[in-house]
Each structure stands twice: as structure tokens, then as C-alpha cells.
Amino acid sequence: MNIDPAKITFDQEVRRYVYDQTMKAGAPPTVAETAAAHSALPAEIEASFRRLAEARMLVLQRDTGEVLMANPFSAVPTPFLAQVDGRTYYGNCIWDVMGIPAMLQRDALIQTSCGDCGTSMTLRITNGSLEPAQGIAHFAVPAAQWWSDIVFN
Amino acid sequence: MSQGAIISLEQCWQLAQAIYGPDRRVPEWRRKTVEEMETLFAQMGFTSLFWRLR
């Protein structure tokens, strides 16, 4: 495969920006915000987002090309909420919402609910440890098929 | 669809740290390879068909 080194470097910078902004602001930046930050055209950022999505480093919203997931973060509200230092973040699933304090290296209060009965569930990550809590994590889709439909999964 | 797999919350936390601990902002970050994921799953005792990646 012929890969343009300049595009690799650009995509790495875009990825850094997306994660940096997400970690600071709680949600991924838009194409327009990313373009403005890089003095780039929106089309260049859209292309970069697409390359990052093809490499499974981002998941894009189907109709707009905006970021849907910068895993573990979700750009849209989900039932998996993490509160860190007074800021609210959304994860894509129970694994991802636990990934938020793992990525931020911070304590977190995680609020979610049972996928079966809807009972609320609160988890606490403190000093890098999960405080004892009742519950399980259920994975519906076999690992080999996770990326077949990552939004469903 | 299979009935899926169940893991403990502690195992989920361990998995979250393994995948999301490394800083994705640095240029050298990359996704784990299939081999690395297989090793991680094996270390965590996830050896059933459900966790097979290929």
C-alpha cells in the first residue's frame, strides 16, 4: 500500500486534537472546529476523519461525517455516563465508559443502568481501582464481529 | 446471535485499562494487533469461542 507520509502525520495531529479536545471538553470537536484549529479546509478534515475511521481509530456519524465515537468517548448522549472532575462524558458501552477514567487517569463516578431490567447502577473508580459493586458486564456480539457493526455493538 | 458472554465488572475494568490506558494523543499510539488482543484475552481467561478473533 502506498501511504503518503504527510497524510499520516496530518492524521496523527488530527487524532491528537480530537482526543485532546474530547478529554478537555467532554465531546469530540466538529469538522469545522478541527479545520479552524488546523488552518485546514473542512474537506481536508473530513478526509482525515474518514482515513482514521477506516483505520478504526474513530467512528463517524453516517450522514454527516462528524465524529460519533472517539473511543471510549461518545459524541452523543448514551446510557453510559462518567463524571470526572465535575465534567460529564458519555461512553459507548460499559467497557468504554470504564475506559474514560482509564484514559483520563482520574477518579470517576459512572452512572448507567442494567441492560436487562433497567435498574440504575452506580460505579466508582477511585485511585485506579474499581470500588466493590454488584453487577456484571454482558457482551452480546462475539469478539470477531465487533467491528461488523460497531454502532450496534 | 449467540447468548453472548458475561464478565465481572472488575474484569471489565481491567479490560478498559488495558485498551484505553495508553495515551491516544501521542503519534506512536496504535491499535492493538489481533495477536496482542488474543494474548490479552488469554491472560484474562477469556478462552471461549466467543472471544476468538479469527
Burial (Cβ within 10 Å: 0-12, 13-18, ≥19) of residue A96: buried
**pLDDT (0 to 100) of residue B18:** 96
Split at pLDDT 50, 70, 90, the class of A2 is low
Establish if B45 belongs to a structural domain. Answer: yes
- The DSSP H or E segment spanning A129 is strand A129-130
Establish if B38 belongs to a structural domain. Answer: yes
Does the pLDDT at position A137 exceed 80? yes
> Searching chain A, which residue's CA lies closest to the CA of residue B8?
A136
**pLDDT (0 to 100) of residue A57:** 95
Q: Which domains does chain A have, with CATH numbers?
A: 5-70 (1.10.10), 74-148 (3.15.10.60)
Does the pLDDT at position B8 exceed 70? yes
Q: Is B6 helix (H, G, I), strand (E, B) or coil?
A: strand
ipTM score of the complex?
A: 0.92
User: Structural domain tally of chain B?
Assistant: 1
Q: How far apart are CA A106 and CA A84, in angstroms?
A: 7
Phi and psi torsions of A36, nearest 5°? -65, -40
> Searching chain B, which residue's CA lies closest to the CA of residue A105?
B21
Does the pLDDT at position A110 exceed 90? yes
Question: CB-based contacts of A50: which residues, under 8 Å, 6+ apart?
Answer: A60, A65
- The DSSP H or E segment spanning A99 is helix A94-104
Say yes or no: B34 contacts chain A, CB-CB below 8 A. Answer: no
Q: How far apart are CA A139 and CA A127, in angstroms?
A: 26
Residue of A136, A148, A149, A152 for testing the chain B interface, max B β-carbons within 10 Å = A136
Q: How far apart are CA A147 and CA A141, in angstroms?
A: 10
Query: What range does the domain containing B20 cover?
Result: 9-51
**pLDDT (0 to 100) of residue A151:** 66
**Per-residue pLDDT tens over the stretch A142-153:** 998 888 766 666
State the first-to-last Cα distance of chain A, in angstroms, to the nearest integer.
30
Q: Min CA distance, B43 vs chain A (Å)?
A: 16
For the segment A86-113, the average pLDDT, to the nearest whole number, is 96
**Contact: B5, A71; criterion CB under 8 Å:** no
**pLDDT (0 to 100) of residue A146:** 85
0.90 surpassed by pTM:
yes
> In A, residues 61-120, which contact B (CB 8 Å cutoff)?
71-72, 94-96, 98-100, 102-103
For the segment A77-101, the average pLDDT, to the nearest whole number, is 96
**pLDDT (0 to 100) of residue A78:** 96
For the segment B44-51, the average pLDDT, to the nearest whole number, is 94
Establish if B20 belongs to a structural domain. Answer: yes
